[in-house]
Structure 1
Amino acid sequence: MQARDTATKEIADCLKVLVPVASASLGLEHLDLDVDGGGRRGSYGPVPWVRIFSKRYAPTAQEGFYLVYLFAADGSRVYLSLMQGTSEFRAGKRRPAKNRKVIASRSAEARTLLRRTAGVSVDAENIDTIDLGAGALSSVGSESRRRIHNYEAGAVLARCYNGRLLPPGEGLFQDLIHMLPLLAYLHREPVSLDPPRLTAGRARQDVVEEADQGVARLRQGRLLDPVIRKAIEVRAEDLAEAELHKWGWEVDRVGAYNRGYDLDCRHPDGRTLHVEVKGTQSRGEEVVLTPNEVRHSQGATGCLAEHALYIASEIRISHDDGVMALDGAGRWLRPWVIQSDDLIPTEYAYRPSEPS
């Protein structure tokens, strides 16, 4: 425990040097970023962490959004995660929130915001469930276990590092540079595409140049976002159609007609099948559905066809010869019946009535 406590402090001290330089190079000084470490009662918490936070928007780990390095309980892996506070004030103390669905809903809402503002920069990250190893713990109480599961539900985006195969320091720093603008988007703060440069010392300049490279990639991702999204969509449909042809189905692509599904399929034996296709660069544990897609799959339209969902995950983007979507691992949900408990609400349309 003492060794772990020392390591956590060393990480925090290192980040306290790097974060202000990176923040300034990205034009994010207005976030007033700081670093602290914890994990409940110092080194005795089962999941230690080191967070990077805005003193304006997330002064404590119990509120707001922040970046955090979350260490699995057994030390086998660490996640760099965009995280939210997951506690509530109950019985006179700050305790882990009881309703984990509310936490998951806030995470999904944050991802929706980031997709709109940062686009492909979000899709390239993992948005899958993180695993902090609570199942391997036998000596922690129910409250600590709930806290760990809340951390997992509260992750908006996460990048996983194997504890024994960590990338070099430059790679870790580049990942942090990539995440910092996303934190600014969550705080609804402006992100400069032409960040200022610092000149105080050669070592600092090296860090700034790396930060500028990260911003350049972010800029390129935003500009190419519609092209990349289309390439991913077409690649996913290609994979689904290839499998359907093997099974004897005739396929028409009808996504452009806004029917609530993408592939209209007919089999020689008379069956019909409507397939909604989702493509992603992540592992595909969460996909976004439109109200029209939900309504159609739940039978509100009275459709008599069989319904299926095809998810093509881990699609790779190549820029070697233009923008090309490659690879992808497909899986089917068939028959596809959406349960209300599986849907996480992220927004509501509201039309206020006229005052009387």
Structure 2
Amino acid sequence: MDDLKTIISKTLNQYQNAKQTSFKNNRLANYFRTEPKRYIESYIKRTGFHFNYDIKSSVGNGRWAIIPWIVLFDTDISTSATEGIDIAYLFAEDMSKVYLSLAQGWTYYHNEFGTKIGQTKIKAVSNYWRKNLKLTSNTFNTKEIHLINPLKRYRTSLPRGYELGNIMSVEYNANNLPDNQKMEDDLALMIQSLEELKSKLINTKDIDLSNKYILSKSVITNKHKNNEYKKTPTKCDYDQQSKSNKITGLKGERYVVEYEKSQLQGNKKLQSKVEQVSVTQGDGLGYDILSFNPDGSEKHIEVKTTTDSENIPFYISQNERQYAKEDNSSYWLYRVYDINREAKLEKYHGNLEQYFSFEPTDYLALKKEN
């Protein structure tokens, strides 16, 4: 069985030539699919790390990959390189270097937001973790990694997604690889970083919830192209809200997204357009969820969630209240109760004045003129 340095070195030295040959039954491809898993499994058993793990590696699916990779998963967090956070060896396209990276899966962001906005989102989450994790080694850094030629156009967004998904890394130059012991030590320290990140997740079994929470703290300004009510999304002051309340709100919004999709069964096109705009566009639109009626007309849904019963009052902003008045034909308020037990839902359509009375609770303080 080859050691880690040999596996890395052989890939760096042989991959470019291998790409000029047939992908099917290629010797290097077969080696790359099996040997990293064998070695890393033996290393974890030997060193006594205690976590549920899996190892996968890829040189492509049916044709040679631009960026071959080896990934170590903590299966409590992720089991696929397309989503979640894992430890990855990412080989530069020109095989001049390889990075050991604490990395995010790009495909999740691409599918959720599209390429352009997805790149902004994955970068925002990377930046969050860079600020909230310790560097476990003085050779690790949080700089952007460089896997591809920035002047070249590619048939896929994956390579750039890999670059933006990097949280921290160490670079190994093909002409000056460290010895196997140093590579093993770096892997051990990167595992520690992954476990620190795991301890900071809201729910290790639901990393999407943590992502949505992080993204809600750093929303981007983006107008919804189909929205008649041209509000500019704004960044809220989340420091004034408790983390638990924010998480409760996100749970309620996700519950409503799934509920709305279930109401559109049989219409996959409309189902795919249901959007949690509070995360994708910001809190300034006046509603949280963009959904649709069966005829294709829009529903703008504000979600108010509580862990308690339906009798609990709720807070609503002036922007939200005004939007309900001005767009009463498409506006809906969904009240989600008992979100941590057996969630229940009440729906209110149009102007909220017909359902609720309102009491002012906040004031704007202006300095008096002398």
TM superposition score normalised by structure 2? 0.45
- Higher Cα radius of gyration: 2
- Bigger relative contact order (CA 8 A; separation at least 6): 1
Identify, as 1 or 2, the structure richer in strand.
1
